[in-house]
Amino acid sequence: MHLTNQSIKEADRIFRLNLINSITGIKPGNLIGSISENGDENLAIFSSVVHLGSSPPLLGFIVRPEGDVRRHTLENLLSKKVYTINQIGESFIDKAHYTSVKFEAHESEFEQCQLTPEYVEGFEAPFVKESALKMGLEFREILPLMNGTQMVVGEIVHLIVDDKAVAKNGYLDLSEINSIGISGLNTYYRLEKISSFPYARKEELPEFNKG
């Protein structure tokens, strides 16, 4: 199959949506927790969380255009300046998926989807108790992109993770925390570690497998 920009444009809308949402490859699954000025807790699934830097520790994620969807997460984090990112584990994929239902602002996805809000002293946004890797972030900047989406950038101020998942060198074992991956809009994958390579140096190029 060879599609051009013209044939992508002319494709059925749902076909295009599903295909283009799948082609970047596997995506991380995270729940973003926030709280409104009124104290309404919000939780939403995102597959666009991306590493931006380690010092300071910055993460980004993409929010869809105004009008397209209700954007409680964005409204909350712009007003409270804090939010949480909680990695989705295999045991609560179904609950995480259904946070994407269009609930009313006063209906908490925590309650509707049977997930448990948890707080860290001095930090206003709710974490997800069920998650094995949770981060509290302070909002830093927001960048408008050409198609009306925006990139939200935040700095990690709390990082809570099971000791047993972190190796001495800092590497995290994603299978130890039963982390999952997302493809497209609704398909979930288990992760199986297959290989690990050293930092790539020219003088240590291996003999490659013959393809």
Interaction with a copy of itself in 80-99: which residues (CB under 8 A)?
87-88, 90-95, 97-99
- Does residue 79 belong to the site contacting a copy of itself (CB under 8 A)? no
Which residue's CB is nearer to a copy of itself, number 37 or number 103? 103
- Does residue 105 belong to the site contacting a copy of itself (CB under 8 A)? no
The count of chain residues that interact with a copy of itself, using the rule CB under 8 A, is 118
- Residues 31/96, Cβ–Cβ less than 8 Å: yes
Judged by CB under 8 A, the residue of 33, 60, 117, 126 near a copy of itself is 60
With CB under 8 A as the contact rule, which of the stretches 34-42, 74-82, 189-197 interacts with a copy of itself? 189-197
- Residues 137/82, Cβ–Cβ less than 8 Å: yes
Report the SS3 class of residue 157.
strand
- Does residue 37 belong to the site contacting a copy of itself (CB under 8 A)? no
- Residues 92/86, Cβ–Cβ less than 8 Å: no
Number of C-beta neighbours around residue 55 at 10 A:
5
Rounded least distance, CB 130 to a copy of itself, Å: 6
How far apart are alpha carbons 31 and 88 in whole angstroms?
Answer: 7
